[in-house]
Amino acid sequence: MKKLDILIIKSFLGPLLLTFSISEFVLLLQFIWKILEKMIGKGLDALVILQLFWYILVTLVPMALPLAILLASIMTLGNFGERYELVAMKSAGISLWRILRPMIAVVSLLSVFAFFFSNNFMPIAEKKMRTLMYEINTKKPTVNIRPNEFYAEIEKYIIRIGAKDKEGKNLSDVVIYDHSKSMGNISVTAAKKGQMYTEDNGNTLVFNLIDGYTYDESVDDQSFYTRPLIRLNFKEQLIRFDVSDFAFKETDEDRYSGHYKMLNITQLNKNINELRKENLDFNHSIVQGIRNQITTPIIRDSNIFKMDSSYDFSFYKDYSLLTNQDKQKVIEQASQRTTYLKSDLKMLDSKRNGDSELIIRHRNELHRKFTLSAACLILFFIGAPLGAIIRKGGLGMPVVVSVLSFILYYVVGMIGEKASVEGAVSSFLGMWSSTLVFLPIGLFLTIKATSDSSLLNSESWIKALNKIKDFLTGHKFENK
């Protein structure tokens, strides 16, 4: 390796590490801002918080790494241009393509690393992060119960409060729905105010309700069908919930093992094949059930028509032989069977749409394993020629250009992914939309930069804009 290559690599690795660290830090702050409310007041250990931050940083690599490569390539070439090192290398007969060659080798290695990272490490980090977030969300329910929201984390109970004070203890407009009998809202307790606190080292959640009512529908054997409504007035009532399961502890990570974001390429392909097979089996069973309903006689009698009989003379003859009571029975059963058929068809359509969307999301995740590597290469071939154009180093203009380019790249990718989930385009076209849009741009900029085209000369652009300005100004005076 020549000294020039070492110089270029060192000049590139410095900004790359700096911009990658800045990108990770900024994205981490954005993520923390979203989950900060769920973490405050939970009494989390510093080790748990550090673990969560570490897993978040790992999951942010697919966004931070391409942005860092884009920004570092612009800064490196911009520094060369600003210090006239780029001009000196070109005057010595070294082409821009030769200057970019060691940087291309580094970015190619990073792209290979990005693929293995996305396939092998990202699923593990995503699973551990979600596991920790689940434990944090369910820890201390007194913090999670927020005004004007239905809280359903306690099994078989739903709680809603109108307001609570800053300490989270004094409440107003409390409603507790008891679903312990698995028969819906047959028992509801409402109170104008109350207090909420924990006992037994946080294992018991206590509601001290004041001035309220309990509405209960009796469902014992004697009054199962009549279900009379009982209303009990109380001045004060204590309700205790066992929330020992809400204490922070390591959750079984198998909770999220089947999620498509926690799978590698082999597992994704396996899941896609299994989902297809399950979808076909379900469709076959539903279609067979519908066929059986259509071909089964409505009334099992020799002189009553079948649903699949044609509308011929015998149809009317058989129907005319029925008594009025049998005719009414046929109509009722036909109407009932039609309702069942509509329900089956609706369920079939819903299941098919759900399975189709789940398969698409698995396919999208499969393509995402490769799009990260492609993003690293494409954004480099956009940033490097742009750096040669801007000829400005540091974190000024390069940051502006990089952020705008990356936002555009990211937005195009999001639009394509959403379109693929909705079925408007294929998974390949949706997930590779950013690549298909920016690949020609990157190649065009690189070719023009290596050929020293005046198209990429900032001075030529300034002259062209001045000519347009002079033309418009002169045209304006002529009209006057």
Q: Are residues 152 and 118 in the same domain?
A: no
Q: Give the type of residue at 272.
A: I
Q: What is the pLDDT of residues 95-114, one digit of tens each?
A: 888 888 899 999 999 999 98
Q: Are residues 82 and 24 in the same domain?
A: yes
Residue ending a domain, choose from 341, 358, 375: 358
Residue at 17 is within a domain: yes
Residue at 376 is within a domain: yes
Closest residue by Cα to residue 189 from 200, 175, 179? 175
Residue at 252 is within a domain: no
- How far apart are the C-alpha atoms of 143 and 177, rounded to whole Å? 19
Residue at 258 is within a domain: no
Q: What is the pLDDT of residues 414-425, one digit of tens each?
A: 899 889 888 888
* Comparison of pLDDT for 233 and 225, the residue scoring more: 233
Q: Are residues 353 and 323 in the same domain?
A: yes
Segment of 13-17, 154-158, 322-326 carrying the highest mean pLDDT: 13-17
**Is pLDDT at 246 greater than 80 in this prediction?**
no
> How many domains in the chain?
3
Q: Are residues 132 and 160 in the same domain?
A: no
Burial tier of 425 (Cβ tally within 10 Å: 0-12, 13-18, 19+): middle
pLDDT at residue 316, as a whole number: 41
Q: What is the pLDDT of residues 32-69, one digit of tens each?
A: 887 776 676 556 677 878 888 898 898 888 888 998 99
Per-residue pLDDT, averaged over 151-170, amounts to 82
Q: Are residues 15 and 124 in the same domain?
A: yes
**Residues whose CB is less than 8 angstroms from the CB of residue 63 and which lie 6 or more positions away in sequence, other chains included:** 23, 27, 410
- How far apart are the C-alpha atoms of 259 and 314, rounded to whole Å? 57
145, 176 contact by CB (below 8 A): no
pLDDT at residue 309, as a whole number: 44
Phi, psi of 164 (to 5 degrees): -150, 155
Residue at 463 is within a domain: yes
Q: Are residues 126 and 73 in the same domain?
A: yes
Per-residue pLDDT, averaged over 382-402, amounts to 75
Residue at 268 is within a domain: no
Residue at 115 is within a domain: yes
Give the chain's mean pLDDT. 78
pLDDT at residue 108, as a whole number: 92
Residue at 158 is within a domain: yes
- What six digits make up the tokens of 330? 């046929």
Q: Are residues 236 and 291 in the same domain?
A: no
Q: Are residues 379 and 348 in the same domain?
A: no
Q: Are residues 468 and 403 in the same domain?
A: yes
Q: Are residues 19 and 125 in the same domain?
A: yes
Per-residue pLDDT, averaged over 82-96, amounts to 82
- Band (pLDDT 50/70/90 cuts) for residue 442 is confident
Q: What is the pTM of this model?
A: 0.65
Give the range among 216-225, 246-255, 398-407, 438-447 with minimum mean pLDDT: 246-255
Q: What is the domain extent for residue 197? A: 142-246
Q: Are residues 385 and 427 in the same domain?
A: yes
Q: Are residues 314 and 352 in the same domain?
A: yes
pLDDT at residue 187, as a whole number: 84
